Amino acid sequence: MFVILVYDFGEKRVAKALKTCRRYLNWVQNSVFEGEISEVNLKKLKAELERVMDEEEDSIIIYTWRTQRYTKREIMGVEKNEISFIL
């Protein structure tokens, strides 16, 4: 499945969230990640982020599609982290 994940974590936890997300998805810009991921790995990612987050202060939004085929990506301005697809 294709996922876009956005998080808003407190200063003390943001570095851990960044490191965790980078293991599973492509970094797009500050606190935004995207990429193909299996359901199993998405469950692992969510569990790892739940251990890091403070549910009283932090938030995560995850958008999922069965495939990237039905999404359109448009970048305006500077692309923070160019994603290269290796086939």
Give Cα 83 to chain centroid, integer Å: 13
How far is Cα 75 from Cα 10, in angstroms, rounded to an integer? 27
Q: What is the pLDDT of residues 8-21, one digit of tens each?
A: 999 999 999 999 99
- Quick check: is 77 in a domain? no
DSSP H or E run through 28: strand 26-29
Domains contained in the chain, number: 1
**What's the confidence (pLDDT) of residue 87?**
42
**What's the confidence (pLDDT) of residue 62?**
96
- Quick check: is 84 in a domain? no
- Quick check: is 51 in a domain? yes
Give Cα 81 to chain centroid, integer Å: 13
- Quick check: is 85 in a domain? no
Q: Do 45 and 20 meet the contact criterion of CB atoms below 8 Å apart?
A: yes
What is the mean pLDDT of the segment spanning 52-65? 94
